[in-house]
Structure 1
């Protein structure tokens, strides 16, 4: 089968991947994964549960306690990770097509950006695997010591559906480099690419039990991973609500450390010295990229009052070029929302915006009569107490507001329980530096947006979570420090 001259791959992997083998769930149950373009079933996927998590953890525990992976040199682990990356490069088109089908992301973007980037995540951390060092310490008394950085153990990685391949490797790559063993729980909406990566990992030579994938639901698989006594660490990306549940489960089991990248409601501050056309283009990108299903979407757009009216006019005009369509269509700029639940949620927020008195400039309704497509939507004259301004929508909905002074802009930017990202648009570098130091968010983009890089740490303040992904900082999440102390002279205890 092909669409727009693109080959649609056969779905080969739908079972759980445990201890190097694809296996049915213990219960034998499956669930449907749905194509958001047409609301049709793509495949029946094994539905894991607590018993399957137990088997995956047992395999990971054995691989960590007695297996080769943690005991290999970093160089040896790095070589296998490099081979893994090469296999991804060899299968870019198939992997991109799977994520486009399963999650509604644009195929062209997946093929040119997401999938090549995740291969490079592996290469980046493969290069770090043999550079994990401790320190030599001169202690104040008659002792000396050194520290070891050791893999933390068995880690549970719970990933979201909006960028499934990216989030898989943002977590898996540093955990592999550190020498950990892993259980991945992909989102139930987008399980297919994770199973393909498990297959490629085995082909690359990653030993059995090191990388396990258990598909299923958060209330069962995610909960079992978070509360498991033999899981040593959990890293989660998703909603703040679920993050709380994971922290509670971890605390009530073995007090395992948790790192969380949670919700966001990013402000985009646009000052009056900018080129309005360029600023509008950046604001549209910040809101409508990936159909708004991204935690750092700049959905609270504050525009200085001198240019506000002009900005509103141009935003309404240019938003019409963001045409929804099949993610395999090269002319489409916005794909479908991931599933019906998210589709309905976004439309309900749009109705709230109308009822609360915001001015609907463009969009505001379903696009077409099949699939989960929503028109890119802009509200003007929004207020801070409106739901569309306070709560994370996770869809293509922009709220426009105005401000007078720099102090007001900073105050409005920080008036949120979240602190994941923020954007500043101005020609004044001194102003940009001042504002960036005042806005409480984990990453600040000045005159750009979505400027991610594998060397740049990413994570949140406040209710957007804690811990950092990307960069060498993220290796630390999967390592623990051990101090070893010896006397400088003969010990009287010997």
Structure 2
């Protein structure tokens, strides 16, 4: 049962008719790992083990890469398949995910602690929409013709890069390894210490709602977390008051209960790191307005936490917390807040809250971030590119821009024999 401030976790849902496959999926088959090693996955809300997962070794990864290479050979059925048929297969995958949406959302919630409604309406919905978006692109990746001199004709075509690996969450290590190797192409979506700027003319209740959505979504375990909120001095106290009231209204409890809006952290290591950073905030002089404590002993729950009076030199202002901690700063003037917002090694996302669209556009241009939201937060769409500046990553995901990361551009030039 979900409660406000206290957790009572029911027995997790069980889908006895739906199997869970903890094996490795390679070349369209389920496999036991080459060395037989496994690792447990635990429900962070209850501490109960869900199952043991097969742990892939180098030999397993090599086998998967070879299978992917074989699928990309010119004689392979996938390579020979016409592009429209590939799009239909992506639509079919989206249909299957939609069919099993409740089951998949439940597994995600049991595995990560994310509230079920977030898994169902955000994660699964986003996955389905992204597959359908790129299904529409399969027959629309066009080359160009280029004007050259009269004796030649040149055109381009886009060809697949080949086997791509998606690895989470050691992006910086991948970047360093790739730099030492053979120029492998790497795209990275890394961390963030994302600034939100709230001007006095903004809709204050909207700004509170959206910045807290950014701060507490998935218990703050999100690269886009709204972890630095800069509020203009004249409305600072009111913003803090409304933020505290909003944080206290969040319902902490069983993530499978639809009334729950705040679940547990994903594991003990992350839980301990967050609690240490909360303690550092208190020791360095920030004012703990609410939260800051573990909720109970059975799960990895941390109360939604709000700090006011945060200064730029504090650890909670500089380090990516990856937890349910909202840090609220004050500012006096526009040049000051732009400098402070950009004073970080990260540059993933940012937000601006104001009714003045001229100011919104000028501030958006000045912020060093790959995405800037105006009067909203976490507004992610399959059509819109996503990625970061500085240490927040390389390249872009989503939208047409992402296609460039997975294709090579080939220029073909033909000598014309008959000149008119």
TM range (shorter): over 0.9
| Contact kept in structure 1, 2:12 and 2:256, CA below 8 Å | no
Residues 271-318 of structure 1: CA deviation (Å, up to 9, x unaligned):
111233332222211211111111111110110000111212222222
Residues 246-295 of structure 1: CA deviation (Å, up to 9, x unaligned):
12222333321000010001101001112333322222112111111111
Indicate the residue corresponding to 2:6 in structure 1.
none
Indicate the residue corresponding to 1:405 in structure 2.
333
Q: Which has the higher contact order (CA 8 A, sep 6+)?
A: 2
Indicate the residue corresponding to 1:432 in structure 2.
360
2:406 aligned to which of 472, 478, 491: 478
The answer to whether the aligner puts 1:487 opposite 2:419 as a matched pair is no
TM-score for the superposition, normalised by structure 2 = 0.94
Indicate the residue corresponding to 2:69 in structure 1.
61
CA distance in 1, matches of 2:131, 2:347: 28
Indicate the residue corresponding to 2:141 in structure 1.
132
Indicate the residue corresponding to 1:156 in structure 2.
165
Secondary structure at the counterpart of residue 408 of structure 2: strand
CA distance in 1, matches of 2:36, 2:12: 37
Matches within 5 A, 1:48-447: 48-65=56-73, 66-140=75-149, 142-159=151-168, 238=169, 242-447=170-375
| Contact kept in structure 1, 2:388 and 2:394, CA below 8 Å | yes
Residues 98-146 of structure 1: CA deviation (Å, up to 9, x unaligned):
0000011111222223213312211111110011111122323622121
| Contact kept in structure 2, 1:264 and 1:392, CA below 8 Å | yes
1:461 aligned to which of 370, 389, 392: 389
Indicate the residue corresponding to 1:19 in structure 2.
27
| Contact kept in structure 1, 2:12 and 2:110, CA below 8 Å | no
Q: CA deviation at 1:12?
A: 2.1
| Contact kept in structure 1, 2:371 and 2:386, CA below 8 Å | yes
CA distance in 1, matches of 2:318, 2:343: 9
Q: CA deviation at 1:333?
A: 1.0
CA distance in 2, matches of 1:429, 1:137: 39
Secondary structure at the counterpart of residue 385 of structure 2: coil
Q: CA deviation at 1:340?
A: 0.8
Secondary structure at the counterpart of residue 165 of structure 2: strand
| Contact kept in structure 1, 2:265 and 2:302, CA below 8 Å | yes
Indicate the residue corresponding to 1:43 in structure 2.
51
Which stretch shifts more, 464-473 or 278-287?
278-287
TM-score for the superposition, normalised by structure 1 = 0.80
Q: CA deviation at 1:30?
A: 0.7
Indicate the residue corresponding to 1:181 in structure 2.
none
Indicate the residue corresponding to 1:200 in structure 2.
none
Indicate the residue corresponding to 2:3 in structure 1.
none
Indicate the residue corresponding to 2:5 in structure 1.
none
Secondary structure at the counterpart of residue 42 of structure 1: strand
Count of matched residue pairs: 409
Q: CA deviation at 1:75?
A: 0.2
CA distance in 2, matches of 1:105, 1:11: 21
| Contact kept in structure 2, 1:4 and 1:328, CA below 8 Å | no
Unaligned runs of 5+ in 1: 160-237
Which stretch shifts more, 104-113 or 297-306?
104-113
| Contact kept in structure 2, 1:32 and 1:42, CA below 8 Å | yes
CA distance in 1, matches of 2:265, 2:78: 39
Secondary structure at the counterpart of residue 72 of structure 2: helix
| Contact kept in structure 2, 1:423 and 1:444, CA below 8 Å | yes
CA distance in 1, matches of 2:341, 2:41: 38
| Contact kept in structure 2, 1:70 and 1:151, CA below 8 Å | no
Which stretch shifts more, 18-27 or 109-118?
109-118
Which stretch shifts more, 117-126 or 94-103?
117-126
Q: CA deviation at 1:3?
A: 6.1
**Structure 1 residues 373, 8: closer, same or farther in 2, change over 3 A?**
farther
**Structure 1 residues 126, 275: closer, same or farther in 2, change over 3 A?**
closer
